[in-house]
Structure 1
Amino acid sequence: MTDAVERAEPTAREPVPLTPTAIVLESVQKTFRSGPLGRGRVVTALADLDLEVPTGTLHALLGPNGAGKTTTVRTVATLLRPDSGRVQICGIDALADPDAVRERIGLSGQYAAVDGNLTGFENLRMVGQLYGRRRRDAADRARELIAEFGLDDAADRPMRTYSGGMRRRLDLAGALINRPELVILDEPTTGLDPRGRQRMWEVIEDQVASGTTVLLTTQYLEEADALADRITVIDHGTVRAEGTANELKTTTARSILTIQTSDDTAERTDLVATTLADIGLGMPRRLGPDRWSVAVADGTRSGVDAVKICDRAGIDVVDAQVTAPSLDDVFLRLTERREPT
């Protein structure tokens, strides 16, 4: 590295007042031309998308392939300019001053954006220098992150010798090199084994606990359920639902009541079906000679009510269970594939 780089001072950030919302997208639209040389039909990637992420929280962005997640992430990261709408990141107008936004964010993608011929330490030091840090400051920060991410033993090995989990940790460390206010994690644990994912979860939780805002896209719904303060589900470039995991489960999906009848009433199918149809939401399903299920609205209370109603109808229930909806149920219900209107 030249003396000029050695003596270079990091670019000073202009002070920006801390805002209650780290991300504000209002009526954001983005279209692309499909086909060779962009001469095909117009494809709408984002259609009047609204998104707000409070400062110091982890917000998960969910959606099927082609829903608009990547376009949203690239817009937030100032890698893509929307056709219209408002984009404010960390209190800054991202369309008017994208450079100021880039100084305050870190981006970690699905694939480690590092040089396989450099060591882990050299990669992180290089990223720090690209952010404008002096070589010594960049080296100190790199060593700090290597220790934090448990990469001490591999710090001086070429990155090409790293496992998939180690590369992901190194990539996330690179996104944190400049102590960003906002970190964008695009499917950071894809392909990791359960232990590697758990370790990444711990690192991400530590970042949020320290005050960093995190925007997370993931294909693992249990990951969003475990980590996110709030979740936005998008499809066809629009928001389908937003809320906490529990709010989405409660308002979007349905609990399932399953009952088992005694042998004496197992053959009285018409009576059981009619009674459960009156109790539940929609028609019940017969799961076996003596087992039935039906969607219900009131969770566990529906199970208690069902036993009472069945007893009055002369149906002997030997077991009744209510299964709460999962985030998978929410996702499937909200993103049933349909052609956009």
Structure 2
Amino acid sequence: MERTDTRTEPAIRCRGLHKRFGGTVAVDGIDLEVRRGECFGLLGPNGAGKTTTVEILEGLQPRDGGEVQVLGMRWESDAAAIRQRLGVQLQESEFSDRLTVEEIVRMFRSFYRQGPTPDELIDFVQLGEKRRAQVRHLSGGQRQRLSVACALAGDPDLLFLDEPTTGLDPQSRRQLWDVCEAFKARGGTILLTTHFMDEAERLSDRIAVMDHGRVIAHGTPAELIASLGGAHVIEFAATAQPSDDELRAIPGVTRVSTHGGATQLTVEETHRSLPALLDGIGAAGGVLTELTTHRATLEDVFLALTGRELRDE
């Protein structure tokens, strides 16, 4: 399962990608480039256009405009060749409950001209002890790893993962992360969609955030978090508080926003800004009713960019 492909063209390149459904513009002229050997996270709320974008890249939807290259090829002329080099794991895969893990993996392996043996696939996703178990007896995490094994049956260069850990417990999530990291370590490329910011930060080398059919931000997780201008977030609620202008004047505050009845301050250093905030609330005649602090995360980036929670759907 070792890779010797050293070509330097991107795994995915699209320019001016456009898709419309009736009067609705789902994808509005986006540019994307996914480098070989990286995990690229594509984030956005429902309706942002990410699902349509991924379906176009997978060859499931025709585009209305723009250019798309996958592994240096085009769907219009190279569909059969592209499919042999793609792996697609869906959020929900329907397997026959009475087939065993080994039977399902052997079936999927038969669809491809080349690839690892069924035993190698089963071991790679850590299902060796379940190879003779029927699907109906698998846990949610085991079913997801089986789905990934099927996506890897043709030893793909490019793997699409659609919210791979939705509904899984923490241990199962981390086991699936290990599988993804092992695939990437062998030289594979991953395009990941997820609603979990810790997952995106853990797995993704670079991230693009979509909303309203457009890419509104892109960069490494560290670069996106740094774009907030501060390393920490103070979230509070009070019976009365300083105005937004007065909050912005607090030492170290780089951003002020309001979500769900609470005010969020992005700050450089909590110990520098918090005393001034408490003094300001007191001067306004207010009483603090809620206070939390945390390091700035991708979740805060998403809120800053879109004005809503990632899972507001």
Same fold (TM over 0.5): yes
The one-letter code sitting in structure 2 at the alignment partner of 1:53 is V
Of 295, 307, 310, the match for 1:336: 307
Pair 88,322 (structure 1): closer, same or farther in 2 beyond 3 Å: same
Contact residue 229 and residue 255 of structure 2 kept, 8 A: no
Contact residue 228 and residue 255 of structure 2 kept, 8 A: no
Is there any run of 5+ residues in structure 1 with no aligned partner, and where?
A: 1-14, 34-41, 260-268, 286-292, 316-320
Q: Distance in 2 between matches of 1:244 and 1:215?
A: 14
Contact residue 281 and residue 294 of structure 1 kept, 8 A: no
State whether structure 2 residue 107 is matched by structure 1 residue 99: no
Of 139, 151, 173, the match for 1:197: 173
State whether structure 2 residue 19 is matched by structure 1 residue 30: yes
2:66 alignment counterpart: 85
Contact residue 229 and residue 266 of structure 2 kept, 8 A: no
Q: Distance in 2 between matches of 1:97 and 1:229?
A: 28
Is there any run of 5+ residues in structure 2 with no aligned partner, and where?
A: 284-291, 309-313
1:186 alignment counterpart: 162
**CA drift at 1:278:** 2.4
Alignment deviations for residues 21-45 of structure 1 (CA, whole Å, 9 cap, x no partner):
1110111111113xxxxxxxx2211
The one-letter code sitting in structure 2 at the alignment partner of 1:198 is R
Q: Distance in 2 between matches of 1:282 and 1:119?
A: 54
Moved more, 113-122 or 86-95: 113-122
Pair 220,306 (structure 1): closer, same or farther in 2 beyond 3 Å: closer
TM-score (norm 1): 0.74
The one-letter code sitting in structure 1 at the alignment partner of 2:171 is R
Q: Distance in 2 between matches of 1:205 and 1:190?
A: 18
Of 263, 286, 296, the match for 1:325: 296
Contact residue 253 and residue 330 of structure 1 kept, 8 A: no
State whether structure 2 residue 30 is matched by structure 1 residue 49: yes
Contact residue 26 and residue 85 of structure 1 kept, 8 A: yes
Contact residue 87 and residue 95 of structure 1 kept, 8 A: no
1:18 alignment counterpart: 7
The one-letter code sitting in structure 1 at the alignment partner of 2:79 is P
Contact residue 17 and residue 91 of structure 1 kept, 8 A: no
Q: Distance in 1 between matches of 2:122 and 2:255?
A: 55
The one-letter code sitting in structure 2 at the alignment partner of 1:64 is P
1:74 alignment counterpart: 55
State whether structure 2 residue 33 is matched by structure 1 residue 62: no
Contact residue 125 and residue 148 of structure 2 kept, 8 A: no
State whether structure 2 residue 295 is matched by structure 1 residue 295: no
State whether structure 2 residue 206 is matched by structure 1 residue 230: yes
Q: Percent identity?
A: 38
Q: Distance in 2 between matches of 1:155 and 1:187?
A: 24
Aligned residue pairs total: 285
Alignment deviations for residues 127-151 of structure 1 (CA, whole Å, 9 cap, x no partner):
1111235xxxx7x711111122222
TM-score (norm 2): 0.80
Moved more, 67-76 or 194-203: 67-76
Contact residue 108 and residue 172 of structure 1 kept, 8 A: yes
Pair 47,189 (structure 1): closer, same or farther in 2 beyond 3 Å: same
2:286 alignment counterpart: none
Contact residue 140 and residue 168 of structure 2 kept, 8 A: yes
The one-letter code sitting in structure 1 at the alignment partner of 2:81 is A
The one-letter code sitting in structure 2 at the alignment partner of 1:218 is T
Pair 244,126 (structure 1): closer, same or farther in 2 beyond 3 Å: same
Secondary structure of residue in 1 paired with 2:69:
strand
**CA drift at 1:96:** 2.8
Q: Distance in 2 between matches of 1:277 and 1:219?
A: 31
Q: Distance in 2 between matches of 1:98 and 1:132?
A: 15
Larger Rg: 1
Q: Distance in 2 between matches of 1:100 and 1:22?
A: 14
Pair 57,278 (structure 1): closer, same or farther in 2 beyond 3 Å: same
**CA drift at 1:274:** 8.5
Pair 187,256 (structure 1): closer, same or farther in 2 beyond 3 Å: closer
Contact residue 68 and residue 236 of structure 1 kept, 8 A: yes
**CA drift at 1:283:** 7.0
Secondary structure of residue in 1 paired with 2:77:
coil
Pairs within 5 Å for 1:189-338: 189-252=165-228, 254=230, 255-256=232-233, 277-279=248-250, 280-281=253-254, 295=265, 299-300=268-269, 303-304=271-272, 323-336=294-307
Q: Distance in 2 between matches of 1:327 and 1:273?
A: 23
Pair 165,307 (structure 1): closer, same or farther in 2 beyond 3 Å: closer
